[in-house]
Amino acid sequence: MTALDLYFVRHGQTDANAHRRLQGIMNEPLNETGRKEAAHTRDTLAKIPFIGAYASDRSRTRETAQIILATHPEVTAKTTTAHLREYNFGSFENMRDIDIGRLMVAHFGVRKIAASLRSPATFIPLMAEGFTAMDQTGVADTQETALERMQTQIDEIKADFPNGGNVLVVSHAFIMSLYLLALDPKVKLPISMPKNASVTHVHYDENEITIGAVNATSTKQLFSVK
């Protein structure tokens, strides 16, 4: 495989984000702030010659991709896919962050939660474990199912572009964080996960996968990582 560069972008802000509610597979649209964030990311990525673009089939990711691609008329390969959807949080969908925190503390205990906060490599998988364990709907993802569908999508992108190039991938904070941690447990993710409309660059070649800029919100941040 020739070198492939994926630019993972979290969608822009929605009203649920603004009100600190967990969205998961809910089909929330961008709000005005989210559209402005996506436009800022459009400018950040304007000089990257994309050859393809993929987005989760949720409206907030599709609109984010549409705004970014406004300066990339050369991109004709555009795909929406359920594989890039956010983690299905089951009965936690649309729940307030503060209420989720209380349930997690009740389930795991204060000490375990406090210890996990030292690193996203422990905190984010622990949250995934809690979502699955406490789900009352029977439909929540597990880390394994979420990572499997994300990897399925990455493999499809590699197959679609065997000659490499730059590809835009618009998805969601939690599932992208799990994927990045699976690639490298030491990746410098914030505990709060990637910001809305931020960019994370991952380089793939025959021999290795390299994570470049993480959670970048400016051209300087994106290209300052060698």
Among 28, 37, 63, 86, the active-site one is 86
Annotation-wise, does 14 bind a ligand?
A: yes
Annotation-wise, does 118 bind a ligand?
A: no
Q: Which helix (H) or strand (E) covers residue 185, if one does?
A: none
Annotation-wise, does 15 bind a ligand?
A: yes
* C-alpha span between 25 and 194 (Å, rounded): 17
* C-alpha span between 117 and 113 (Å, rounded): 6
Annotation-wise, does 165 bind a ligand?
A: no
Active site residue 86: yes
Residues 6+ apart with CB under 8 A from 100: 22, 92
Per 3-state DSSP, the chain is made up of helix, strand and coil in percentages (nearest 5) of 45, 15, 35
| The Cα angle at residue 74 between residues 165 and 223, in degrees rounded to 5 | 50
Runs of H (alpha helix) within 19-84: 32-44, 59-68
Taking only Cα atoms into account, the Rg of the chain, rounded to an integer number of angstroms, comes to 17
Annotation-wise, does 21 bind a ligand?
A: no
Annotation-wise, does 60 bind a ligand?
A: yes
* Contact status, residue 168 vs residue 52, Cβ threshold 8 Å: yes
Tokens of 90: 């089951």
Among 11, 72, 83, 172, the active-site one is 11
Annotation-wise, does 160 bind a ligand?
A: no
**Active-site residue numbers?**
11, 86
- Which residue ranges are tagged as binding site? 10-17, 60
- Which residue ranges are tagged as binding site for substrate? 10-17, 60
